[in-house]
Structure 1
Amino acid sequence: MTPTTASSPAAADFQSIPDMIRAHALAEPGRRALLEEQGGATQALSYGELDRLMDQVAVALQRDGVQPGQAIAVCASSSVLYAAVFLGALRAGVVVAPLAPGSTPEALARMIDDAGARLLFTDAAAAATVADAGLGRVPRIALDGSPVGTPLAHWLAGADARPARVEIEPAWPFNIIYSSGTTGTPKGIVQSHGMRSAHVSRGAVYGYGPESLTLLSTPLYSNTTLVVFFPTLAFGGSVFLMPKFDAAAYLRLAQQHRMSHTMLVPVQYQRLMTRPDFDAHDLGATHMKFCTSAPFHAELKADVLARWPGGLVEFYGMTEGGGTCILNAHLNPDKLHTVGQPAEGHDIRLIDDAGQEVPPGEAGEVVGHSAGMMTGYHGQPEKTREAEWFAPDGKRFIRTGDVGRFDAEGFLSLFDRKKDMIISGGFNIYPSDLEALLRSHPAVAEAAVVGMPSVEWGETPVAFVVLQPGVDVAAEALRQWLNERVGKTQRLAALHLINELPRSAIGKVLKRELRDAYAAR
């Protein structure tokens, strides 16, 4: 695993995240770092305790012969011990591959093999998947004391152990995030310590500090979570980890612990804002709320701004890095239909199918360049090349696959994933346009539109709709309602009512599953 240095900050400006945590542990060892709820009671790990536990993990890895640049895998639900193992591995220069417990056994085996993981840290949440994965001789360590492997307490080095010092460099690999997208084939995105340092550096403007408490209910294997998790600790704040999202529990904990920061995906915001008891909770300590990973509709942003104190920031970007757009929604209430403007120092451009930049005002595929860019897809150089675009001067950009347009003030509006765009009879149809129109119907809670093969048109749009609770409307009536309001080329060939849209763990609608289900009919 040998990353380049092209996307890393200068070594002189670099401080590793493990070193930042040690500095907090030396300055205020008793300050809370990590929290979780067990059996109705809050359990906390101070910075001093976290620092010692990180040392124990690092020493045990060195004892077991895991070298800097080699990888371990973690497949478990979020917990304080999960976080400590992740951070301790980083202190030893070891790369972490955080994996989803909901993966299929086959996908889990492929990812562990692809990462070359020397050890697997797991728990009861992943026990069935791990048992069926056929992982051979990869040693397993149980984070929760369940019989899935050697208990973590037995594996750890002694409490007084101190690891050999590892001088981490910005270009070294930090983690491998596996993203299957809609293809179902895992791709390992290698992110460097320098890339994570770039994420941390922008945290200063969001008010992280020793008094901060960040409540996280998205999983630690997701980049969505990590872009908030690491800056909180780097600035000396506290992180409260929920093993899974539950709207009622989230609101209770946010009020009880005076939450200052949080990251949620759009479907979580939706579920919170529609709860009858939402306004009964005191969320006045909230300083900043973040959102990313899936389309965040303007009407939902407006509702959050109106009813939830504190700022609201939407990040648009990819786990692969490249470029990020940021919408400070509380400062730009007239731009809620956009994903904001390019972050400082980020170069975002739009290109056509031939790889040429489009003229101002025209739509094109979004590509980005920044200090935070993946080294590449682990072990997949061809996939890496497919994800790259080079400007005429040789500057490297990451392709997003999204189609968008800049307005006169430099705010980016997105239309759709390029691969989700439907070409029917030679005309481009953006599913997001049809989805937005469907959502405007009072009976519709959620909608997704996909392109299906058509002998006559090549492709034709088909909709999947979730109705509002207690509402009854015929699918055909809803289809006709939409078709009366769109052009001939946009008309739906079919509309299906379903109980819920299939989503990933971080809320992305899995359109591949909708296509497969429709094709199976």
Structure 2
Amino acid sequence: MHGLPRKLFFRELKKIKWQRKFATTAARRDEFILKSTLPDVVIPKMSITEKLWQDKSSFWNLVALESVETKKTYTYEQLHRYSANFATFLLKHGLKPGDVVAVMLPNCPEFPVAALGTLQAGCVLATINHIYKEFEVGHHATIAEPKIIVTIPECYDSVVKGLKSAKNNSKIVIVEHANTKTPSGTIKYSEIAENGDADYALLDKIERNEDDIALIPFSSGTTGLPKGVQITYKNILAAMEIMQRKETCFPKLSSSTFQDIVPCILPFYHIYGMIVTLLGHLSKGCKLVTLSSFSASLYLNLLKTQDVTLLYVVPPVAILLGKHPDVSSEHFRKVRHVICGAAPLAASDAEAILEKSNGNLEFSQGYGTTETTSLASVWFKGTKIEDYDCSGVPMASIKLKFIDPLNGNTIPIGQTGEICVGGPVIMKGYHKNLESTKDCMTEDGFFKTGDLGHYCDKPGHGLKITDRIKELIKVKGLQVAPAELESILRSHPKVAEAAVIGVPHEFYGEIPKAFVILKKDVKIPAGELQDFVASKVASFKRIEEVVFVNDIPKTASGKILRRDLKKMYA
């Protein structure tokens, strides 16, 4: 990992004059580790569903979920009952604890029923983006090997083709729509969840260990194709405890007289949407309002017509809120906190929101990765922030350190290096990928994020992300793996070689740009290659520009030098 390719990739970093004072003792090395100022959390010895429903008596009859599009709602009592029904169905139809259930749904009230039911049955929840196509579904299914997949009629064809390519015989559960025909041979969600029966005696017998895998979301890590991330029961329980510390707990416990309202635009298949928005707020009895896909008009109307109190956003949405001419203080009239994550946001964009809200809310950037289960850093409530470019301070039980990306040596706090995160929220590893797991972990158990940054301990400053080492492209806060697009391009009969990089985009953050070497004596319009890729991937992964070249810079071992491409063409 620290051989010639990596040195070439970071040759510019050699110009930085590191001023280190290394020590050889373990105690001295601790001086290079930044620990949270909050006491470590105590991870409870209970199941995730027990933790989730700990305070249910306060909000049992309140609305838990409401769909903006369909107006469908579930109360907390219904969510609890339907999840138990779904869990019972799984166990009585041959699944055992540890078997995988894949959920390929948009944000909707039915998603948490399938997710929580899967966990209650002791099964492993694998999440798949509902706009994925055959190639992507097949890749995920090959890794996760689900026994059942839950989806919607619109995704059925992609699911069937993807499962076939993965040689997987999963049963398919369909979340039906009104006036939509359910494909033959599938299982109706309504029959097993909303109209099913729960066997609580059976469910009470389920036992899982804290190191067992609970969740497999997908991440590109620092390089390569998307990988399944093994999130354990301990990881999730630790994340929930950390988020509930009063300094970083943004929702309030609901009651008969108060309920936080939270628009859910962050996809539940993503770790941010799943752990932070879904589990973090269901446990407090919030009303979660789901949008199946982002629509600026629906979202802004929601902010105007409902008394929204908490906003969890990604940079494109934050920019929209700050720059859209129709957004005014009225949209933020009840909002207490705005938390932005998934990619860095410029301070000016944060300040634009604060200006429109007349300073009546707190804005915080947070930092985390799929591999850290949840946020690793965020601003404590009530902090006077001096630099909105920063992503806060370490949360309870979280440790940060920074390493020289050329040699892996730990460097002093305050200097720029690769951000590494430690604590009880660090994933177990990449599913069926020991090599990638070893590559991304330090010897002392820190996860190497692939992001460059530094920490400033001045009041109102904190963790600042300055660059990205990892190859992945961030489009609207979503991960796009260059290697995935390159493999599709190379599969075209007229393409000899291809490389993909991310280039800046004012609204999306980045967009994919491809460099293609054609085979000898052939021609093809760039648009045809763009369409070829678009037919195989989700819309946010589409290549926005194709450049035909005669050479693609590589190392001696064949690794694409993406930074050289960016210098040459972007």
TM over 0.5: yes
Deviation at 1:341, TM superposition (A): 2.1
- Within the candidate set 187, 191, 194, 2:234 is matched to 194
Counterpart of 1:277? 326
CA displacement at 1:89 relative to structure 2: 1.1
What secondary structure, in the 3-state scheme, does the structure 2 residue paired with 1:167 have?
coil
1:16 aligns with 2:85: no
1:154-208, CA deviations, whole angstroms, 9 ceiling, x for partnerless residues? 3448544324112344322221011136856120001112212222222343233
2:407 pairs, out of 327, 340, 354, with: 354
Check conservation: 1:21, 1:47, Cα contact below 8 A: no
Q: What amino acid is aligned across from residue 210 of structure 2 in structure 1?
A: P
Partner of 2:10: none
The question of 1:58 aligning with 2:90 is answered no
Going from structure 1 to structure 2, the CA distance change for 1:123 and 1:520 (only over 3 Å counts) comes to farther
Q: Name the amino acid aligned to 1:33.
A: A
Q: Could you tell me how far 1:86 is from its partner in structure 2?
A: 0.7
What secondary structure sits across from 1:278 in the alignment?
coil
1:435-464 deviation line (CA, Å, top 9, x unaligned)? xxxxxxxxxxxxxxx9xxxxxxxxxxx995
Number of the residue aligned with 1:366: 419
Q: Is the 8 A contact 2:323 2:352 kept in 1?
A: no
C-alpha separation in 2, matches of 1:182 and 1:519: 27
2:260 pairs with 1:225: no
Aligned residue identity for 1:358:
I
Question: Structure 2 matches for 1:278-357, cutoff 5 A?
Answer: 278-279=327-328, 281-308=330-357, 309-321=360-372, 324-327=376-379, 331-352=383-404, 353-357=406-410
Higher strand fraction (1 or 2): 1
Matched, 1:106 2:135: yes
CA distance in 2, matches of 1:289, 1:465: 24
Distance 1:294 1:508 in 2: 19
**What are the residue-to-residue correspondences of 1:38-49 with 2, within 5 Å?**
38-39=69-70, 42-49=71-78
Aligned to 2:316, the other structure's residue is in SS state: helix
1:209·1:232 contact (CA, 8 Å) conserved in 2? no
1:418 matched to 2:472? The reply is no
3-state DSSP of counterpart to 2:126: strand
Other-structure match for 1:32:
63
Paired position in structure 1 for 2:519: none
Residues 334 and 10 (structure 1), Cα distance of their counterparts in 2 relative to 1, 3 Å cut: closer
Indicate how the Cα distance of structure 1 residues 261 and 16 shifts in structure 2: closer, same or farther if over 3 A, else same.
farther
Residue 243 of structure 1 aligns to a residue whose secondary structure is coil
CA distance in 2, matches of 1:182, 1:370: 19
Q: 1:215 aligns with which of 263, 278, 281?
A: 263
Percent sequence identity over matched residues? Answer: 20
Matched, 1:71 2:100: yes
Which residue of structure 1 lines up, in the alignment, with residue 9 of structure 2? Answer: none
Amino acid at match of 2:326: D
1:129 counterpart = 2:161: no
The number of residue pairs the alignment matches comes to 433
Q: Does 1:170 align with 2:216?
A: no
Q: Aligned-pair RMSD on alpha carbons? A: 3.3
Residue type of the partner of 1:138? S
Q: Which letter does structure 2 place at the counterpart of 1:384?
A: T
The question of whether the paired residues in 2 share the 8 Å contact of 1:56 and 1:88 is answered with yes
Deviations for 1:211-253, whole angstroms, at most 9, x for unmatched residues? Answer: 2221111211111212221111112222111111112211221
Name the aligned partner's letter for residue 261 of structure 2. Answer: L
- Structure-2 residue corresponding to 1:459: none
User: What residue number does 1:494 align with?
Assistant: none
Quote how far apart the aligned CAs of 1:150 are: 2.2
Take 1:509 and 1:464, find their aligned partners in 2: how far apart are those partners? Answer: 14
Q: Which amino acid aligns with 1:18?
A: T
* Cα distance in structure 1, aligned partners of 2:75 and 2:366: 30
Report the Cα distance in structure 1 between the residues aligned to 2:59 and 2:401, rounded to whole angstroms: 44
2:173 and 2:187 in contact (8 A); partners too? yes
Contact between 1:351 and 1:357, CA under 8 Å: does it hold in 2? yes
Residue 546 of structure 2 corresponds to which residue in structure 1? 517
Cα contact 1:35–1:239 (8 A) shared by 2:
yes
Corresponding residue of 1:147 = 182
Deviates more, 1:344-353 or 1:10-19: 10-19
What are the residue-to-residue correspondences of 1:239-278 with 2, within 5 Å? Answer: 239-278=288-327
Gap change, CA 1:361 and 1:199, over 3 Å in 2 = closer
Determine the C-alpha separation between the residues in 1 that align with 2:548 and 2:283: 48
Q: Is the Cα contact below 8 Å between 1:101 and 1:129 reproduced in 2? A: no
Q: CA deviation at 1:38?
A: 4.1
Would the aligned equivalents of 1:301 and 1:329 in 2 still touch at CA under 8 Å? no
Unaligned runs of 5+ in 2: 1-39, 475-481, 483-500, 508-532, 551-570
Contact 1:100–1:221 (CA<8 Å) still a contact in 2?
yes
- Relative contact order higher in (CA < 8 Å, ≥ 6 apart): 2
Structure 1 letter corresponding to 2:305 = Q
Give the direction of change, closer, same or farther, for the CA distance of 1:342–1:519 in structure 2 (3 Å limit): farther
- 2-structure distance, mates of 1:109, 1:295: 31
Cα distance change on mapping 1:171 and 1:64 into 2, 3 Å: same
Alpha-carbon distance in structure 2 between the residues aligned to 1:168 and 1:22: 18
Q: For 1:209 and 1:221, how far apart are their aligned partners in 2?
A: 25
